[in-house]
Amino acid sequence: MIGEFAALGAALSWTISAVLYKEALQKTKPISANIVRLVCTSMILVACLAVIGKFGVLMNLSMYAVFLASVSGIIGLGLGDTLYMVSLKFIGVARAVPITCTYPLFNLLWAVFLLGEPVTFPAVLGAVVIVFGIWLLGKEKEKSAVEVQRKVLVRGVASALATAMLWSVSIAMIDMAVTLPETGNLDNALAINTLRTASIAVSLLALSPLIDRNFGFLKVQRKTFAALLLGGIVALGLGWFLLAFSFINTPEARAVPISSTTPFFSTLSAIVFLRERVTIENAVGSIMIVIGIFLIFMV
């Protein structure tokens, strides 16, 4: 059961970080926020490796594991998480988190179209349920909403869907990295997660003159910085480590659905902590997405 509990811990970690990110994004741009949290979190993770005497594990990773972890970081944490922050800024936690958690649907599509795996009825039903759930989350209840609001909603939903697609690729790669014969233990999972975060942190920092031209990441306020730092530690340090650890101890088909229960917790968090307006459609859409994910992974 330790693998299942680890996956549930990942879901809770991502819920907490979403609340922290949403608060921080009121005062800064998504790309600036992502640079701050990745650079600071990667420094802390590297320092932790050194303190516990596991830095040598990082240095001894195979080139293939290094490649998988680095590309996973660029795709998932660089591109995916920046779009995730865009969606949080535009449509809030209650809508953005459930939509981004549809990444198992894209994992299914890659398995069918790229690997030629057979399609089962529960998987098809799950896909239909997820799509309907996304539709409910994307509905604008206010009939009198102005055109600008509708454009913001569409942009937020599109960013969340793109995030899910990128995360699906990133998660598949990190699963491959931590289940290699030479990396299937706790120390290597920690080292791979650290490398994954550090690789994209260095890349974004190097590209900051182009992607954050006003160097907004250097101008964030202390409260915003604290929220991004704590969110990064919880999501990237704890959450992704727990997911990688769950892959070692339980099959992906069990770990991914459990880690995707984040919409349940995010809807409650949005109501309690962020005072977001959550409609019946939002709540039902979140539940349907989780049900759809479980259907996809039925064997």
Q: 90-122 pLDDT, tens per residue?
A: 999 989 999 998 888 887 888 777 767 787 888
- Angle formed at CA 15 by CA 87 and CA 27, multiple of 5 degrees: 50
Q: What pLDDT, on a 0 to 100 scale, did the predictor assign at position 115? A: 66
Q: What pLDDT, on a 0 to 100 scale, did the predictor assign at position 259? A: 83
Q: What pLDDT, on a 0 to 100 scale, did the predictor assign at position 281? A: 85
Look at 31 and 112; give whichever has higher pLDDT: 31
Average pLDDT, the chain: 88
Q: What pLDDT, on a 0 to 100 scale, did the predictor assign at position 147? A: 55
> How far, in Å, CA of 296 to CA of 299, rounded?
9
pLDDT > 50? residue 299: yes
Q: What pLDDT, on a 0 to 100 scale, did the predictor assign at position 151? A: 81
pLDDT digits (tens, 9 = 90+) for 39-74: 999 999 999 999 999 889 988 999 999 999 999 999
- For residue 118, give every residue at least 6 positions away whose Cβ sits within 8 Å of its Cβ, in sequence order, or none: none
pLDDT > 50? residue 236: yes
- For residue 294, give every residue at least 6 positions away whose Cβ sits within 8 Å of its Cβ, in sequence order, or none: 126, 257
pLDDT digits (tens, 9 = 90+) for 195-234: 999 999 999 999 999 999 889 999 999 999 999 999 999 9
Q: What pLDDT, on a 0 to 100 scale, did the predictor assign at position 83? A: 97
> How far, in Å, CA of 47 to CA of 107, rounded?
33
> How far, in Å, CA of 216 to CA of 122, rounded?
46
Using 50, 70 and 90 to split pLDDT, how confident is the model at 273?
confident
Q: What pLDDT, on a 0 to 100 scale, did the predictor assign at position 62? A: 92
Using 50, 70 and 90 to split pLDDT, how confident is the model at 248?
confident
CB 279 within 8 A of CB 141: yes
Q: What pLDDT, on a 0 to 100 scale, did the predictor assign at position 146? A: 53
Using 50, 70 and 90 to split pLDDT, how confident is the model at 142?
low
- Average the pLDDT over each of 80-84, 137-141, 163-167 and give the range with the smallest value: 137-141
